[in-house]
Structure 1
Amino acid sequence: MEPSAEAHAAQIDRKGYTVIEHYISPEQLELGRAFIKQQAATRNGEYFCIHGIEELSGTMFAGLALSTPFKDRMAQLYRLQSGREPATEEQVFPVIRCLQGRSGLKQSHFYHFDATAVTALLPLYIPTEGEHCGDLIIFPNTRHIRFNALRNVIEKAVLHNTVSQKLVAFAVRRGWLKPIRLKLVPGNLYLFSGYRSLHANDVCDPSMLRATALFHFGNPHHESALARSLLGANKRRAKLDHNGLRPVN
């Protein structure tokens, strides 16, 4: 019997993450991988990212993001972590992220906090040979959920800059900082609080393919014009609204 949302939330609070093993079937994993291979073939072997339900329409990733049981799980985790109800119109925001080639190297050790309280990570392709497999690196629950949007913006400004990122990466490589390192297993679902936990991926060998599906839910600053204007660069770049949909003109 699968653990309850309360059990998952408790594990996230205690360990920084929780895992649902074999969350998707081997057949679903192959469907997801087929989509990744199709997309990767058009990107000249370099890094790419796909944002939002509409860009992923017709794929298993959009179907998962739109499924009621999946959204209910994410919403329950948000309630347990924040003590508040999510916005009624908020949707799960899916992202496909694929590291490959030299440009993929630039995406390593990019330490950041997510805009949403709940992050679900579904690995699709993960290297298993060599030293650099793109492990997930987490500093678990290093801050609380901030309902003050200005404070959140200031914290992100301090950490989401080149100098801070390089300092943290250097300290991790030297062993001065000791985060959690997760060896991801394709088909498992990893749940953690991306908002509270500083995280990044380790270096991935440019000759290898590392592909994951990410699902974000529970923006504490959903109604904040300040947060929307200063944060959420990925959605603006993809010309999406805060729910990952293309605005109707």
Structure 2
Amino acid sequence: MDGRGFACVEGFLSDVELAWAKAFVASAINKAGGTYVGFVGKSAVAGSGLDRLAEDAGFQSIFTRLYRHAVKRPPPPIEFYQLLRCLTGTAAADHSLNFHYDSYVITGLIPIEIPTEGQTGDFLMVPNTRPIRTSYAANLADKMLVDNRLSQLVLRRLRLRAQGPVTRIKMVPGNLYFFWGYRSIHTNEPCDPDKVRATAVFHYANPHAGSGLRSRLGR
């Protein structure tokens, strides 16, 4: 993670666990009429197996140990910001190629369904481009530098260069990928409308959770 930008635990989910999650995704897409659907929170993915994973002590300990390594401080209590994103149909393009920084120090990503032909929705990142900011205002300034039309255009062009700064990761369902989400600019490429790209995301440790400015802006 410090060097190439990410780490991979191959075969993290068993075949049974992966099949369970895939069945949940297929049912959700069917109920949504074959279009994009997203879930936020552990309760929203009840029955997928991902809710149980969030409670697993061994899984949680990976995040707390990584936090100690990165921040050199005792880790905060585990409170995952958990997502399940299911990209398919024409709406999938609206949820792709939006480069950004995460608000959380560590991001764990588990692909559930990944296309193998056409546009496969590769994961893209420019790793470790900033430190963990001491103030929410500095963090906000970083995000504004990325989240604008010119920066997005430049990053989208850079992804096409074979020797450019953008790292391309072809993900494998059932693997577990870790990266410093707060420090790394990242996004996903689109997948073909007739394919499904489903990923479970676990965010951990927002360094600005107690910020007064963040609270005021949120209100």
Same fold flag (TM > 0.5): yes
Q: Take 1:63 and 1:73, find their aligned partners in 2: how far apart are those partners?
A: 16
1:103 to 91, 110, 119: 91
CA distance in 2, matches of 1:54, 1:211: 18
Supply the AA of the counterpart residue of 1:179. Answer: V
Determine whether 1:36 maps to 2:36.
Answer: no
Equivalenced residues, count: 219
Q: Which runs of 5+ in 2 are unaligned?
A: none
For 1:28-71, what per-residue CA distance to the aligned partner results, in whole angstroms no more than 9, with x for missing partners?
Answer: 00000000011000112211211111222343111111222111
Deviations 1:114-148 (A, max 9, x none): 11111111001100012x10000011111111121
Give the AA of the match of 1:107.
Answer: H
Unaligned runs of 5+ residues in structure 1 are 1-11, 237-249
Alpha carbons of structure 1 residues 229 and 54: separation in structure 2 relative to 1, 3 Å: farther
- The one-letter code matched in structure 1 to 2:30 is A
Aligned to 1:214: 201
* Partner Cα separation in structure 2 for residue 55 and residue 39 of structure 1: 11
Within a 5 Å distance, the mapping from 1:224-235 to structure 2 comes to 224-230=211-217
Q: Is 1:83 matched with 2:72?
A: yes
Q: CA 1:40 to 1:228, structure 2 compared with 1: closer, same or farther past 3 Å?
A: farther
Structure 2 matches for 1:139-178, cutoff 5 A?
139-173=126-160, 177-178=164-165
1:187 aligns with 2:174: yes
* Amino acid of the structure 2 residue aligned with 1:197: S
Once the two structures are TM-superposed, the CA of residue 229 in structure 1 deviates from its matched residue by 4.9
Match of residue 48 from structure 1: 37
- Partner of 2:22, secondary structure, is helix
Offset, 1:228: 4.4
- Summarize the alignment of residues 18-33 of structure 1 with structure 2, pairs less than 5 Å apart: 18-33=7-22
Residue type matched to 1:30 in 2? A
* Paired residues of 1:136 and 1:183 also in contact (CA < 8 A): yes
**1:204, distance to aligned residue in structure 2 (A):** 1.1
TM-score of the two chains, using structure 2 as the length reference: 0.93
The one of 55, 68, 74 equivalent to 2:57 is 68
**CA separation of 1:15/1:229 partners in 2, compared to 1, >3 Å: closer, same or farther?**
farther
CA RMSD of aligned residues (A): 1.8
4+ runs of 1 displaced by more than 4 Å?
A: 228-231
TM superposition shift of 1:173? 3.2
Q: Partner amino acid for 1:55?
A: A
